[in-house]
Amino acid sequence: MLAVEIIAKKRDGLELSREELQWLVSEFLAGNVPDYQMAAWLMAVYLRGMTTAETVALTEVFLASGQQLDLSFLPRPTVDKHSTGGVGDKTSLVLAPLLAAAGLAVAKLTGRGLGHTGGTIDKLESIPGFTTDLTDQEFLQNLRHIGLSMIGAGPTLAPADKQVYALRDVTATVGSLPLIASSIMSKKLAGGAQHIVLDVKYGRGALMPTLEAARRLAEIMMSIGQHFGRKMGAILSDMNQPLGYAVGNSIEVKEAIDVLQNRGPADVRELVLALASELMVSSGLSSNNSEAKTELEQLLVSGAAWEKFVEFVTRQGGDARYLHDPSLLPSSPQQLVLAAPEAGFVAELDAHTIGQCAVKLGAGRTKKDGKIDKAAGIVLLKKREDWVEEGEALAVLHGAKQELLQAVAPEALSAWQLSLEPVEKRPLIAEILRS
């Protein structure tokens, strides 16, 4: 085979065989197909798309390039959840211990934040001592003993995807739906869970700009999962404004603790219960979503989910004192209140702007090896539909230096659009898809 022939075939909109995809990826990994040819193929895919068969085949090639975890020894049903990324998205911190407390084995492959979206590992690492740097044996032991473990998607899981993604990142081809789907699903499948729920977000703070794009991506990922024998579900959720009130790392852990202790923001709780209910029904632990929600709410009320979170954090090296007294968690030396320039209802709260400002305050990274300020971030006080008086606080910026807060404040303030007219309510969850 010749790389140029495969590039030309995709350029002309023709379907590639599994053998052609296998050859292209393996030769790229071996260094025989140069970056410029792989980049040309990626752009052809971006412009021409891929059939479902091609996307499944590419996922299979990525999956076969590395290790696949075998969780069949576990007596509990195995589950995982993937979010396409958002601002203030701390659902995994609540969802995972809640499901483990319900009797499921939560094998969570997770990642760090990049750009304006936060990462679960970064949030958890604001708890002193906590680590996701586990051996496979430690990961599996945690699953066996407490039904929950989180590990970073390391170099042994779908390594071909990692190299291809690095090239996508610098060739403006990240937005291709088939490439996104095969990248995500190759890692999810390698993790071994049999039941997977996807939180596919859309809107200003999401990877997918519209509900239609989110639905299409969800459908592609679900078809891949079903091909490999997984039970799939997807929730399409609104990310035009941040989820919850905290955007950062340690401040999001504090908010997650609130939800686990049966308090916290209603939107975080709603999304967690919806995602968890899908997995409860999919795995057979509940007969319907209403029954599942009732059982899950009881685990929050009783404290069982909170106790599981403490057990999980402790088992992965975290110091439980910081959970029992969240005021001990990293906190910023400087704060700045954002005041409303006028009175009105909050018509929009731009999640992308808030996410970008949180990064500028130090809560995120703009390059993969960048360091973060675990205490930095933004605590929102007014969100969409809320009424605010002139001069009333909209949010509090948290950071290391007052000059930094002052520099970020004007951009952060621009995230709020105010209106004298009441604002129409918008649902957090637009659709639920089931296989």
Same domain, 366 and 286: no
pLDDT in tens, 240-266: 999 999 999 999 999 999 999 999 999
366: in domain: yes
Amino acid identity for residue 300 in this structure: L
294: in domain: yes
Same domain, 21 and 131: no
Same domain, 299 and 370: no
Task: Give the pLDDT band (50/70/90) at residue 115.
Answer: low
* Domain boundary residue, one of 324, 347, 373: 324
Number of separate domains in the chain = 3
pLDDT of res. 365: 79
Reported as half-sphere exposure (CB side, CA atoms, 13 A), residue 15 has a value of 9
Instruction: Tell me the mean pLDDT in the region 179-183.
Output: 95
428: in domain: no
Instruction: Tell me the mean pLDDT in the region 112-136.
Output: 85
Residue 153 pLDDT greater than 80, yes or no: no
- What's the mean pLDDT when you consider all of the chain? 95
Residues marked as catalytic: 82, 161, 168, 183, 187
Beta strands in 173-255 (DSSP E): 195-202, 231-238, 246-248
pLDDT of res. 114: 62
424: in domain: no
* Chain-centroid distance, C-alpha 280: 20
Amino acid identity for residue 316 in this structure: Q
pLDDT in tens, 80-97: 999 999 999 999 999 999
Q: Report which secondary-structure segment, H or E, holds 216.
A: helix 211-227
Same domain, 318 and 348: no
Same domain, 27 and 85: no
DSSP symbols for 329-367: S---SEEEEEEPSS-EEEEEE-HHHHHHHHHHTTSS-SS
3-class secondary structure, 428: coil
68: in domain: no
pLDDT of res. 346: 99
Instruction: Tell me the mean pLDDT in the region 109-135.
Output: 85
Residue 34 pLDDT greater than 90, yes or no: yes
% of the chain beyond a pLDDT of 90: 89
Structure tokens that stand for 391 in this block: 């001069």
Same domain, 340 and 367: yes
Residue 48 pLDDT greater than 80, yes or no: yes
CATH number at residue 17: 1.20.970.10
Residue 390 pLDDT greater than 70, yes or no: yes
Same domain, 252 and 311: yes
Same domain, 266 and 306: yes
429: in domain: no
DSSP symbols for 99-165: HHHHT-EEEEEE---BTTB--HHHHHTTSTT------HHHHHHHHHHHSEEEEE--TTSSHHHHHHH
Beta bridge partners of 416: 349
Same domain, 44 and 95: no
Structure tokens that stand for 130 in this block: 């906590």
Q: Which domain holds residue 245?
A: 78-324
Instruction: Tell me the mean pLDDT in the region 120-129.
Output: 94
pLDDT in tens, 161-172: 989 988 988 898
Instruction: Tell me the mean pLDDT in the region 17-40.
Output: 97
The C-alpha atoms of residue 179 and residue 129 are separated, in whole angstroms, by 35
Task: Give the pLDDT band (50/70/90) at residue 430.
Answer: very high
Backbone angles phi, psi at 133, to 5 degrees: -85, 75
Structure tokens that stand for 47 in this block: 């412009």
CATH number at residue 124: 3.40.1030.10
Same domain, 277 and 351: no
57: in domain: no
pLDDT of res. 301: 98
Same domain, 222 and 296: yes
Same domain, 264 and 291: yes
Residue 151 pLDDT greater than 70, yes or no: yes
Q: Helices 304-315 and 136-146 meet at what angle, rounded to 10?
A: 150
Instruction: Tell me the mean pLDDT in the region 60-74.
Output: 94
Least confident of 16-20, 110-114, 278-282, 360-364: 110-114
395: in domain: yes
% of the chain beyond a pLDDT of 70: 98
pLDDT in tens, 193-234: 999 999 999 999 999 999 999 999 999 999 999 999 999 999
Range among 160-164, 286-290, 369-373 rated most confident: 286-290
Q: 274 or 169: which carries more pLDDT confidence? A: 274
Amino acid identity for residue 219 in this structure: E
